[in-house]
């Protein structure tokens, strides 16, 4: 017979780790399952975090490391695994991983975050890992002294452009509208860099090259570039909750103020949840609330 956990947390980003910290401090049996052996979710991909209270300017990977260290130093239990199935039977949850491990729990905190939206244009799939990238912080170093293009107009696109401008010769930022969605401070920072050029009102059509990327063709022009960084938004990882939770129009999960879904005992936290602001500070807040109420109501 499987051990019955009080709380099973799936996803080890800021939301999941905050849930684990509050669960451990609540003195109950908790376990967190995380797929990626490195880092702490999306924040580990960013170079600098300027808006997490008390840690101004901290590197994203270091911030994630502190969350992991904090949770494990309190005795938080983390197992590696990719969760592929979640079901509720009678009054408890059954969670399965791709390795066939099965976990049972009284409550479940779902913190699987989001994944990158694709451009879905010719050449994107072919050149993935050969010039097409979704993470400037991870791959900038491969484009030293080269020309690259970033596609997108939000905070991620502009922050990618800034990171790339430190190493690359030239950075184009391609955006389909005539104004960026990104924060003004980020846009201003990029505008001051001589090697960043904004290209507005144009839509990428295809990525061309031979063994690796050579150019990107848009609806209005062709730009020579060795790298194309795609930053056109995120899609919530809500796919494992079919039938268990309601989703909004953009497939984010609807919860009440206590982070609980329509299924009693199922809590959803972080970027995968339907809410206005998706940041570390709101992710860790969600995690704290979910564990607190999970313990209060079910453990
Ligand atoms: C480039 C970039 C820069 C950013 N900069 C900032 C910033 O400066 N300040 C700020 O506050 N926020 C920033 N953010 C946003 C911030 O990173 C997110 O709001 C935060 O990481 C959300 O945390 P989360 O735990 O909900 O999700 P995530 O961080 O996405 O974590 C989800 C976790 O679930 C795991 N997972 C997914 N599927 C499975 C599965 N099937 N089984 C097991 N595990 C799984 C993933 O590996 C991941 O570790 C930035 C985001 C990006 C992409």
Fold of 132-230: FAD/NAD(P)-binding domain (3.50.50)
Q: Residue 197: pLDDT band by 50, 70, 90 thresholds?
A: very high
Q: Is the pTM here over 0.85, yes or no? A: yes
Structure tokens belonging to residue 213: 């990327």
Question: pLDDT for 142-181, tens place per residue?
Answer: 999 999 999 999 998 999 999 999 999 999 999 999 999 9
The architecture of the domain spanning 4-116+234-298 is 3-Layer(bba) Sandwich (3.50)
Respond yes or no: is residue 138 known to be catalytic: yes
Taking the domains of the chain in order of start, what are their residue ranges? 4-116+234-298, 132-230
pLDDT in tens, 238-278: 999 999 999 999 999 999 999 999 999 999 999 999 998 89
Residues with CB under 6 Å of ligand 1 are 10-16, 33-36, 41-43, 45-46, 49, 51-52, 82-83, 111-114, 156, 159, 237, 270-271, 278-281, 283
Please give the distance, rounded to the nearest whole angstrom, from the Cα atom of residue 115 to the centre of ligand 1: 9
Residue 40 a catalytic site member: no
């Amino acid at each position: 017979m499987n051990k019955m956990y009080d709380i099973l947390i799936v996803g080890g980003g800021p939301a999941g780790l905050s849930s684990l910290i509050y669960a451990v401090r609540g003195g109950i049996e908790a376990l967190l399952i995380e797929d990626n052996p490195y880092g702490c979710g999306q924040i580990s991909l960013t170079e600098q975090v300027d808006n997490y209270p008390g840690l101004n300017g901290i590197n994203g990977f270091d911030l994630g490391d502190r969350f992991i260290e904090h949770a494990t130093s309190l005795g938080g239990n983390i197992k590696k695994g990719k969760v592929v199935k979640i079901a509720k039977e009678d009054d408890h949850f059954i969670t399965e991983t791709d390795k066939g491990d099965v976990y049972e729990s009284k409550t479940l905190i779902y913190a699987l975050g989001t994944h990158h939206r694709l451009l879905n244009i010719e050449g994107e799939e072919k050149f993935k890992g050969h010039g097409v990238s979704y993470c400037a912080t991870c791959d900038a170093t491969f484009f030293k002294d080269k020309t690259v293009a970033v596609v997108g107009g939000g905070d991620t696109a502009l922050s990618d452009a800034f990171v790339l401008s430190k190493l690359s010769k030239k950075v184009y930022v391609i955006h389909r509208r005539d104004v960026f969605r990104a924060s003004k401070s980020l846009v201003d920072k990029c505008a001051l860099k001589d090697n960043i050029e904004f290209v507005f009102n144009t839509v990428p059509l295809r990525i061309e090259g031979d063994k690796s990327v050579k150019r990107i063709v848009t609806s209005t022009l062709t730009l020579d570039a060795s790298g194309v960084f795609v930053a056109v938004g995120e899609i919530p990882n809500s796919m494992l909750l079919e039938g268990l939770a309601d989703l909004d129009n953009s497939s984010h999960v609807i919860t009440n103020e206590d982070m609980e879904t329509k299924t009693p005992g199922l809590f959803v936290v972080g970027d995968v949840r339907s809410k206005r602001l998706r940041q570390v500070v709101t992710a860790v807040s969600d995690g704290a609330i979910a564990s607190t109420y999970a313990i209060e109501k079910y453990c």
